[in-house]
Structure 1
């Protein structure tokens, strides 16, 4: 009912808000997740104004647009979102924006469907956590730079130069994380987390990944999920499990308790950033810093 009211409000709002976009000469972009916000800031630099809807610790699976968000979206020159039903509760809002001729782009469109991990349990039939493979993020960087260049041809050289510089940083990131992961034997690369957000990471870096909850956090883990995951931990002698910054920790704590009750000691290895970056102004508040932090936390706990 609340979502219906918001959509109704959106329709009325847009009818009465023509010519309200800022007149500062800059290109105004609204992004959803903090990963996308960070990327657009790196590529757009001072030629764009970026407003991110979701900050640190925000779960995009559950996020609903507020009236303030509707105002930001309706005044944007471009909207960039994850896609693949990551922001499931915003789909109708994005459709409304497209009908108002606001350029609304899913960054997942940068990837070929054959490179996605399929899932019959998620609305899009694909795993939307595409940022956990650096090579995916490189393709998305090129895609976003091209989108900005097409929208602002006069700034194309600026956007493309920034993208090239950022791609060099991503290449260095890939080299660094692979070197650290190489110090962990393959038979110890078993990653158990709060929800199934790390499958792209597992495929790219040879980890067996188990999520206590599914791809979405909309449904909490049940007793059977806890027992099944506990059995996996015991069978494979997993030393540590991980909570996530955007998911309540109680289910992982219940999992730890279930495992320890069966005479197998498992510790909580730390908090990983999954669906959101860390706080702005911290290393983990950037995509590159987040990835380094996660890899170091995982490797250190599982060694």
Structure 2
């Protein structure tokens, strides 16, 4: 009975929040009309930081989710709803990455532009799990993420046509950096012996990365951190590590480390020493103001950690 009452109470709060959101959106925002910067609210930093570069001094960008925050489990607060209401444009990633915010996006889209930046990518280019669910971790495929940022840039041009040339120039310059990042990444990972090119992490967030660099990826959980980890998942991963002599596994900044610890202990019991390769950024970037708090910096960090752990160089 208490659990049922809590669910009812939560539903009432969310309903009230959405009502407040719709009312606020009819009176707040629209800053560009007054000649101010375009106010952009994003869900994740992987969108916010690149868009702040593309938008330059014509935009003010704020991300709801910071370092260490898991977007799969994220519930919007009343403060978040107020931020969304104050924005001119809302960008989210899409394909159920922000699974608990779908209703909010639907409601706010009635009054202002809301864009899931990856949802226009052709489905044939996206990865799916065994059940047919689309993998939402698109930012690990640099070319696909450029498509998402392209869609966001086109939306900015619609909001502020007079700045279209400025946005296009900034986007082109930034994309050149991303192209260089992709080439650098592929070169680095290709130096890992093919038999050791296996990335074992807490959940299945690196599929696009693996496809881009020809690397096998094993995640203990599925695409969402809401998925359950079974004993069979842990044991099959242990067997894989032992059979292939994989030297390292990795934890993620936004995911509980207990499952990876269980794999390491199991491999040790089977006579195979597996070290902790380091911490990777998966669903969240690093802290704001750090190198890892940028998309390119986060990506480079991951590549360096993977390279050194799987080759033993730099130990």
Q: TM-score range by the shorter chain?
A: over 0.9
Gaps of 5+ in 2: 1-6
Aligned residues: 300
Equivalent residue in structure 2 for 1:128, among 132, 136, 155? 136
The aligned runs of 1:179-198 (5 Å cut-off) are 179-198=187-206
The aligned runs of 1:98-137 (5 Å cut-off) are 98-99=109-110, 101-121=111-131, 125-137=133-145
Q: Is the 8 A contact 1:141 1:167 kept in 2?
A: no
| Cα shift at 1:20 | 2.6
CA–CA distance in 2 between the matches of 1:288 and 1:15? 36
The aligned runs of 1:1-303 (5 Å cut-off) are 1=7, 3-14=10-21, 16-17=23-24, 18-21=26-29, 25-99=36-110, 101-121=111-131, 125-303=133-311
* Secondary structure of 2:109 counterpart: helix
| Cα shift at 1:258 | 1.0
| Cα shift at 1:120 | 4.6
Gaps of 5+ in 1: none
Distance 1:111 1:15, change over 3 A: closer
Residue deviations 1:218-251 (CA, integer Å, cap 9, x gap): 1342322211111111111111000000101111
Q: TM-score, normalised by structure 2?
A: 0.91
* Secondary structure of 1:108 counterpart: coil
* Secondary structure of 2:279 counterpart: strand
Q: TM-score, normalised by structure 1?
A: 0.95
| Cα shift at 1:266 | 0.5
Q: Is the 8 A contact 1:134 1:170 kept in 2?
A: yes
